[in-house]
């Protein structure tokens, strides 16, 4: 079929199909996973809540302030990708990249529809729209969105998102296809720096295959092959070219266009089996070993210096991110001094500072909090909205929708050391059991003399 690679069957085809099924399943089904966080919070296990500027990831809730964790995860993931590339070439491109997965899916549709009188374009439009829907599900409650889209009651923005992502899927997977890998993606340019002569790449064992020709005669000894005649194992059937999604001929050597999908390995192994020659004329191997004309292929070297460097960075970054995730504070509290005026001297000689208190709870179930100053710091607290003008050593506050924004007045009594600028520590406790949830550090201002 024009523009559609031929089918290959074998180990790498099976790995590709299995992995693509897992990734597609993950993409479409994970947004439907539920996670009980209580009545006021979304019940979706993973949700990018853009209006609320937060990310729900199972039991975690991340805010923009947690950006360092995202940076740690991204650095870790990128280093793992570098590790995989240094070890085994473009495995990401060939097996897991969304461009590869969706293009492969559209090729499968073409092959499936060819003899079944089903217009492939209809199936492809359905897949593209489903992809748009699947993408939108990561950003809003998936079952609700599905119901509203089907019932025609979704917001116009939801239909727009499905159409835009669906259109993009069509453009990249149906129209651009391998052109994305060949001309648009920057990754092949980077990967050259990550590979060395010991990395696993798809290699054509030219010493075994050449000189190629339809009539196979045993190999020439001077080319390193078995004792025999003058022709190599390649029978020039071009199956390796026919199955290649980027339409390259790997027999010309490793090229930028090779995404390392291994389909030519499967195709050639099938041919070798048929003509009774050993498999592996095309195989994942190191360039060093291919040049050594060895019948035995090398295995990846996970402990070599270059891959180990990337693995160490990945483990460090992921370890740091995981530690930060496990020790996330249950709430965020800020105390912004209101500096106009800096302080007020009361008639009884006390010095009062005015703060804007902002608390956001991360832990579900937190509703009433107790505030007090740290041990050894004298002062009385009063919410500006409360009727208790004297203030007290502790105050209790109730969160509304897990959030509180209130003016807090803190007074250091006459006689307490309140000269100039001094540190102030406000402790935030769970009112139910006195558990310390956080400490806010700020400055208390008093007269210079």
Would you tell me which residues interact with ligand SF4 (CB under 6 A)? Answer: 202, 209, 234-240, 243-246, 248, 250-251, 258-264, 267-268, 271, 281-282
Q: Tokens for 242?
A: 């026919």
What does the alpha-carbon distance between residue 434 and residue 188 come to, in Å, rounded to a whole number? 56
Smallest distance from ligand SF4 to CB 226, Å: 16
Smallest distance from ligand SF4 to CB 18, Å: 17
Q: Which of 365, 440, 330 is nearest to 61 (CA)?
A: 330
Q: Which is nearer to ligand SF4, 265 or 397 (CB)?
A: 265
Smallest distance from ligand SF4 to CB 287, Å: 15
Q: Are 343 and 375 a contacting pair, CB within 8 Å? A: no
Report the 10 Å Cβ neighbour count for 183.
10
Smallest distance from ligand SF4 to CB 108, Å: 16
Q: Which is nearer to ligand SF4, 281 or 408 (CB)?
A: 281
What does the alpha-carbon distance between residue 3 and residue 17 come to, in Å, rounded to a whole number? 20
Q: Tokens for 437?
A: 């949830």
Q: Which of 287, 306, 312 is nearest to 297 (CA)?
A: 287
Q: Are 352 and 343 a contacting pair, CB within 8 Å? A: yes
Smallest distance from ligand SF4 to CB 312, Å: 29
Q: Tokens for 203?
A: 């290699």
Q: Which is nearer to ligand SF4, 129 or 258 (CB)?
A: 258
Smallest distance from ligand SF4 to CB 263, Å: 4
What does the alpha-carbon distance between residue 208 and residue 197 come to, in Å, rounded to a whole number? 19
What does the alpha-carbon distance between residue 282 and residue 240 come to, in Å, rounded to a whole number? 9
Q: Which residue has the tokens 């008639």?
A: 347
Q: Which is nearer to ligand SF4, 66 or 269 (CB)?
A: 269
Helix (H, G, I), strand (E, B) or coil at 430: strand
Q: Which is nearer to ligand SF4, 10 or 31 (CB)?
A: 10
Smallest distance from ligand SF4 to CB 188, Å: 11
Q: Tokens for 185?
A: 């993606």
Q: Which is nearer to ligand SF4, 1 or 74 (CB)?
A: 1
Q: Which is nearer to ligand SF4, 23 or 130 (CB)?
A: 23
Smallest distance from ligand SF4 to CB 257, Å: 7
Q: Tokens for 222?
A: 């001077």
CA distances from 186 to 91, 243, 247, 313 (A): 16, 24, 19, 22
Query: Which string of b and e fits 317-333 if b means at least 16 CB within 10 Å?
Result: bbebbeeebeebebbbb
Q: Which is nearer to ligand SF4, 283 or 382 (CB)?
A: 283
């Amino acid at each position: 079929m024009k523009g559609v690679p031929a089918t290959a069957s074998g180990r790498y085809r099976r790995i590709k199909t299995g992995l693509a099924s897992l990734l597609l399943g993950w993409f479409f089904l994970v947004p439907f996973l539920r996670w009980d966080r209580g009545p006021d919070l979304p019940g979706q296990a993973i949700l990018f809540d853009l209006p609320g500027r937060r990310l729900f990831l199972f039991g975690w809730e991340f805010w923009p302030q947690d950006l360092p964790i995202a940076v740690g995860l991204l650095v870790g993931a990128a280093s793992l990708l570098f590790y995989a590339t240094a070890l085994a070439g473009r495995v990401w491109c060939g097996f897991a990249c969304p461009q590869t997965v969706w293009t492969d899916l559209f090729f499968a549709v073409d092959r499936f529809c060819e003899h079944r009188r089903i217009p492939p374009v209809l199936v492809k439009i359905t897949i593209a729209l489903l992809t748009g829907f699947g993408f939108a599900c990561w950003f809003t409650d998936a079952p609700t969105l599905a119901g509203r889209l089907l019932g025609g009651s979704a917001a116009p923005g939801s239909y727009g998102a499905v159409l835009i992502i669906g259109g993009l899927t069509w453009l990249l997977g149906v129209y651009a296809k391998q052109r994305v890998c060949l001309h648009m993606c920057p990754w092949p340019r980077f990967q050259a720096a990550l590979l060395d002569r010991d990395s696993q790449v798809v290699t054509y064992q030219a010493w075994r295959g050449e000189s190629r020709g339809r009539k196979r005669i045993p190999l020439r000894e001077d080319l390193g092959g078995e004792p025999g005649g003058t022709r190599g194992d390649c029978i020039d059937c071009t199956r390796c070219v026919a199955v290649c999604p980027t339409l390259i001929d790997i027999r010309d050597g490793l090229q930028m266009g090779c995404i390392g999908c291994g389909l030519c390995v499967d195709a050639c192994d099938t041919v070798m089996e048929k003509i009774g020659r050993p498999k592996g004329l095309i195989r994942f191997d190191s360039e060093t070993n291919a040049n050594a004309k060895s019948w035995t292929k090398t295995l990846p070297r996970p402990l070599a210096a270059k891959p180990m460097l990337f693995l160490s960075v990945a483990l460090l970054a992921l370890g740091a991110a995981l530690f930060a995730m496990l020790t996330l504070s249950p709430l965020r509290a800020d105390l912004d001094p209101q500096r106009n005026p800096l302080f007020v001297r009361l008639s009884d000689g006390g010095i009062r500072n005015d703060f804007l208190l902002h608390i956001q709870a991360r832990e579900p179930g937190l509703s009433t909090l107790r505030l007090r100053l740290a041990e050894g710091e004298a002062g009385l607290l009063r919410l500006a909205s409360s009727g208790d003008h004297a203030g007290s050593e502790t105050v209790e506050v109730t969160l509304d929708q897990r959030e509180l924004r209130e003016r807090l007045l803190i007074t250091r009594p006459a006689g307490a050391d309140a000269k100039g600028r001094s540190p102030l520590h406000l402790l935030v406790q769970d009112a139910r059991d006195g558990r310390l949830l956080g400490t806010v550090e700020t400055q208390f201002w008093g007269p210079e003399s």
